[in-house]
Chains A and B, each alone.
Chain A
Amino acid sequence: MAAIATPQHRSSKTESYVDNKRKEDIRHANIVAARAVANAVRTSLGPKGMDKMISTSSDEVIITNDGATILNKMQVLQPAAKMLVELSKSQDSAAGDGTTTVVVIAGALLEQCLLLLSHGIHPTVVSDSLHKAAVKAVDVLTAMAVPVELSDRDSLVKSASTSLNSKVVSQYSTLLAPLAVDAVLSVVDAAKPDMVDLRDVKIVKKLGGTVDDTELVKGLVFDKKVSHAAGGPTRMENAKIAVIQFQISPPKTDIEQSIVVSDYSQMDRILKEERSYILGMIKKIKATGCNVLLIQKSILRDAVTDLSLHYLAKAKILVIKDVERDEIEFITKTLNCLPIANIEHFRAEKLGYADLVEEVSLGDGKIVKIKGIKEMGKTTTVLVRGSNQLVLDEAERSLHDALCVVRCLVAKRFLIAGGGAPEIELSRQLGAWAKVLHGMEGYCVRAFAEALEVIPYTLAENAGLNPIAIVTELRNRHAQGEINAGINVRKGQITNILEENVVQPLLVSTSAITLATECVRMILKIDDIVTVR
């Protein structure tokens, strides 16, 4: 607080007196709270960043390095701190990676803003200048970027592995990076080449094995067992697959009904009728040549009964039950078939075809794989393995980040160096630009430039290097025109980072800077917290 209470140098030509103590207290409190959040995730930045262990209120333990996940699980209450959490979420949805970076940048910007405010600069002036600086920064970054082609698989793999290197699963980056690239490239739609819908990439987690066993499956994987009732088949070649949304169980009506049984012989008849009813359905199914059934989970009644499973097994039909309704779209898209909602509509043209459907034992559980799908839709499944739940979850998160990185590259085909190189270059160029500007703007832009140095500084610090030595050395190199000089964390020195294959998509960097600036500007403009209903 002491810094705030210092006498202010007003910007106006003449003297004026305004009592703004309360507003400044609120602004100060907001900034301090937001910075506290930023500091909490700071140490997880970069390849040598540390992980956090989070114990949630429901006694669940999560170990992660992903900024968005850490912040999401942190239950912050202070409104400004909440905005930083939102910020990392936005980055997650915009670029998918760089969720820690964006928060660290915002924290550094806020720190600089506090200094500027204490000099008596009006918050809106700071806010406007930050916006200008951010626009300029994006220009600089775009100028630095190297265009990349989707056919250039190497570059894509490099950027995916840069993202993976900072995660728990970094030792598997050689495996996961190409996997992520292949997964995304296989779902790129030729009609819309710059759009990737990550929902077309399904990640199936299965405990057991190691991350090494993670594989990309051309086809479908279900984390389910085949129904084993009455010794039904568990492997089917030349499969004809039907996705059904009706139930193979005794009929149930929507109107309330009761069967009145008056004597013993009728009971027998009812049982027989039930049997013949189900048998009738299964015969119809068999008649189309269908030999694999995927049955949607039903909330109204049993999707299948023991009896129907028994008959299905007799008819040599492989059954996978309890398929969620949300998954139906993905499945039908992959299998290139149509869902069937009524037995009357069970026709051969609605079936999907695959070379092989089989149940595979994995660790202690079993999964079902569908391979060799005919005219397969543009979807992909990744089967993630891990030796324990924590590793498995983190592997999934890391893979998601890597997928996002590749998606960014598909959307905006430019690469930029990693390892703090773009930030220090930005800082240098903006610093030079600040000298050309007049008045408050120049001052604020310089502060912005200084704030960006936090990235290389933190990278070095987390890697156990001397941050000051590294940052000054970096500045020096960049001043000499080596715009791609960055921190090589493995060697602990400064090298040309592009040659080291540490690259990231341009979109990650630009969105980190614009989003962080936008968030900081919003925090700056707040002068009161009002409690409402």
Chain B
Amino acid sequence: MAIDRIFKDEASEEKGERARMASFVGAMAIADLVKTTLGPKGMDKILQSTGRGREVTVTNDGATILKSLHIDNPAAKVLLDISKVQDDEVGDGTTSVVVLAGELLREAEKLVASKIHPMTIISGFRMAAECARNTLLEKVVDNKADSEKFRSDLLNIAMTTLSSKILSQDKEHFAKLAVDAVMRLNGSTNLESIQIIKKPGGSLKDSFLDEGFILDKKIGIGQPKRIENAKILVANTAMDTDKVKIYGARVRVDSMARVAQIETAEKEKMREKVQKIIGHGINCFVNRQLIYNFPEELFADAGILAIEHADFDGIERLALVTGGEIASTFDNPESVKLGHCDLIEEIMIGEDKLIHFSGVAMGQACTIVLRGASHHVLDEAERSLHDALCVLSQTVNDSRVLLGGGWPEMVMAREVDALAKKTPGKKSLAIEAFSRALLAIPTIIADNAGLDSAELISQLRAEHQNKGCTAGIDVISGSVGDMAERGICEAFKVKQAILLSSTEAAEMILRVDEIITCAPRRREDRMEIFHLFCNPVLRHWIGNGVVVVGGRMLTFKSSNEKPIDFRRAKICSFPIAKVKVLDNNSLSSRASWPLSEGEKEISVRGEKNVWRCHHRNNGV
């Protein structure tokens, strides 16, 4: 007797033909989705969020599109992953890698239909990929020795990358900007020290590169607005009061005067702390947490520039570029490493005042200030610039360069084709298929530009029969053109990564012959809060700032100490899957005010307020 069920409820299984079919279809659907964004005339997509606020993103970046998709198909997820890896590794080519993998699978599907075993296809693909990679290696140009030529290579690469993005109109400006920024890094691929600040207003052309560091914060009242030869202490410490964090600790006194004494003692403690900080011999103090009025005044009296509430990213970067360390205790001034810079001053960008640190210890550091009409433009510009910066920093290390515009694909396709003719056996069919998949990339670029791809590709192929040909698709004039002349370049590293990871992904998907879907895990803890908000009886409680979760009572307070009226807060419209109760450890680093014992934080993404709640262990 056959076993009826091996799997749990809701788990399912797909086998053989059907499993493969599902993989192919899923992967190709994803590839087709991003296909149209490829190339200089690729189109953009609107990403409309289903969450609260229905936020809209306009983008051309493959990785961004794929990252935000709802995907249920396992094969599609593989493609998504390779695009993510591509983004992390080399930063650009996130669309190409998915498209190539999709095309390989499209070809593989046909081969499988003509009864060729997937393993044969895979070994054919492997040979083809190896051959293609060797071809690229033969064709690369390395201009590392000649710094002038190398710089123009970098500029060309940046321009090629940017030409498919929103920055294409001002690509020369931005290419120069990106190259300058990357050259400052001296070969490091750590993009941390390049800070990108987005300020709405002005046009993209007004964007500029600034040496030094810009912090989007305000200087405290009554403090110097300009400091030369600054010694900076970067800290993450509570500057309201140091709280005793023992639950239930309290002081019993018998007179008002005593209370006043305690208050003075608390003030005194803060004064001491400030004195200790000043004792470091600094003239600039940057804190991640709030600085209350009292210490702020003390700093002002001492002529020290104090910056409060610099976000986490901000102070880490500031510590990095000024060569300081983030301090949280101040008892040993000699062991704390201070940051240095030549000048701190307030500058105005658009309507906002920002703080500018120039002449910082880490010479590599620089800030790119992006200006643009709206947030959509700025966000997309940042993504584009990030791509360019990634590619450039990779190229500085691995200076091998290839031509662009479909040229590498054509060269590879020709060699792979030649290999197919030499190879006996069924494998040759797979190798041939690989070459067809390679050709798909220039075809798509031409199609996206509204050109006659069939005509152009056949012309191009004919041209490429001559050795040493540099022809590619010139999208601007809509014809076959000389890529070397037009300065269209791509980094070898990007191309290689595209080739290898898409082949691998295709191989992985091809190997699949069974898909098992596991039963989804239940997420009770998260949903519970949501149900509470929907429950009319409990809403009364919620209105009074009391919530019951798992038998514990939670009271809510907002960051300004006022109880939240959830009825007004439209709680039901929150994307509830995003509400989560964080544990106490992750809290202290995230909340800008310290939490006392037994308090928990509930963060609601997209809301500025972070709420904390206090739970009492009595069941209701």
Residues on A close to B: CB < 8 A?
A: 10-16, 18, 23, 30, 77, 79-80, 82-83, 86-87, 89-90, 93-94, 122-124, 128, 131, 192, 195, 197-198, 245-246, 250-262, 266, 269-270, 273-274, 277, 296, 299-300, 328-329, 332, 338-342, 345, 514-515, 518-519, 522, 525-533
- Min CB gap B31→A, angstroms: 14
A192 to B353, CA, bound (A): 13
Establish whether residues B373 and A338, one from each chain, have CB atoms under 8 Å apart when the complex forms. no
CB neighbours (8 Å) of A525 from chain B are 43-44, 60
Contacts known (A16-B454, A341-B294); A255 close to B251, Cβ less than 8 A: yes
Q: Does B484 contact A (CB under 8 A)?
A: no
What number of A-B contacts does a CB cutoff of 8 Å give? 223
Q: Which listed residue (A14, A122, A270, A329) contacts B450, Cβ 8 A?
A: A122
A6–chain B nearest beta-carbon distance, Å: 17
Q: Which residues of B contact A253 (CB under 8 A)?
A: 251, 259, 262-263, 266
Query: Which listed residue (A257, A328, A526) contacts B262, Cβ 8 A?
Result: A257
| List of A residues within 8 angstroms of B73 by Cβ | none
A93, A192, A270, most chain B CB atoms within 10 A = A93
A531 CA to B243 CA, complexed, in Å: 47
Given known pairs A131-B169, A254-B266, the reply for A299 and B561 (CB within 8 Å) is yes
Residues of A within 8 A of B201 (CB): 90, 93-94
The CA-CA distance from A349 to B13 in the complex, in Å, is 81
Please, which residue of chain A has its CB at the minimum distance from the CB of B372? A518
Which of A255, A296, A300, A529 is B561 in contact with, Cβ under 8 Å?
A300
Could you tell me the dominant secondary structure of chain B's interface residues? mixed
Most buried by A among B166, B255, B562: B255
B residues 284-308 touching A (CB-CB < 8 Å)? 292-294, 296-298, 300-301
Q: Kindly identify which residue among B70, B222, B249 contacts A532, using a CB–CB cutoff of 8 Å.
A: B70
| Interface membership of B241, Cβ < 8 A | yes
Q: Is the CB of A528 within 8 A of B45?
A: yes
B229 CB within 8 Å of chain A: no
Partner of A341, one of B40, B46, B297: B297
Asked whether A339 lies within 8 Å of B221 as measured between CB atoms, the reply is yes
Indicate which residue in B43, B256, B374, B561 contacts A519 across the interface (CB closer than 8 Å). Answer: B374
Interface residues on B, range: 35 or more
Q: How far is the CB of B379 from chain A (nearest CB, A)?
A: 11
Which one of A79, A198, A245, A345 lies within 8 Å of B56 (CB-CB)? A79
Asked if A93 meets B49 with Cβ closer than 8 Å, knowing A83-B376, A341-B296, A519-B373, the reply is no
List 16 additional A-B contacts (Cβ < 8 Å) besides A12-B455, A83-B376, A253-B251: A12-B451, A16-B451, A83-B374, A87-B374, A90-B201, A122-B449, A192-B348, A255-B266, A258-B252, A259-B256, A260-B252, A260-B253, A277-B260, A338-B297, A342-B297, A528-B46
- Chain B residues within 8 Å of A16, by CB: 451-455
Which residue from chain A places its CB closest to the CB of B475 in the assembled complex? A124
The reply to whether B45 and A529 form a contact with Cβ atoms under 8 Å apart is yes
Chain B residues positioned under 8 Å from A300 (CB to CB): 561
Is there a chain A Cβ closer than 8 Å to B582's Cβ?
Answer: no
Residue of B58, B301, B449 touching A345 (CB-CB under 8 A): B301
- CB-defined contacts of B266 to chain A, threshold 8 Å: 253-255
A226: shortest Cβ distance to chain B, in Å?
A: 23
Does B348 lie within 8 Å of A195, measured CB to CB? yes
- 6 nearest interchain CB pairs? A527-B43, A273-B256, A532-B68, A256-B250, A245-B293, A341-B297
User: What is the CB-to-nearest-CB distance from A322 to chain B, in angstroms, rounded to a whole number?
Assistant: 15
Closest A residue to B479 by beta carbon equals: A13
* Min distance, Cβ B382 to any Cβ of chain A, angstroms: 15
Quick check: A251 and B377 within 8 Å, CB to CB?
no
Q: Mark B184-217, 1 if CB is under 8 A from A, else 0.
A: 0000000000000000111100000000000000
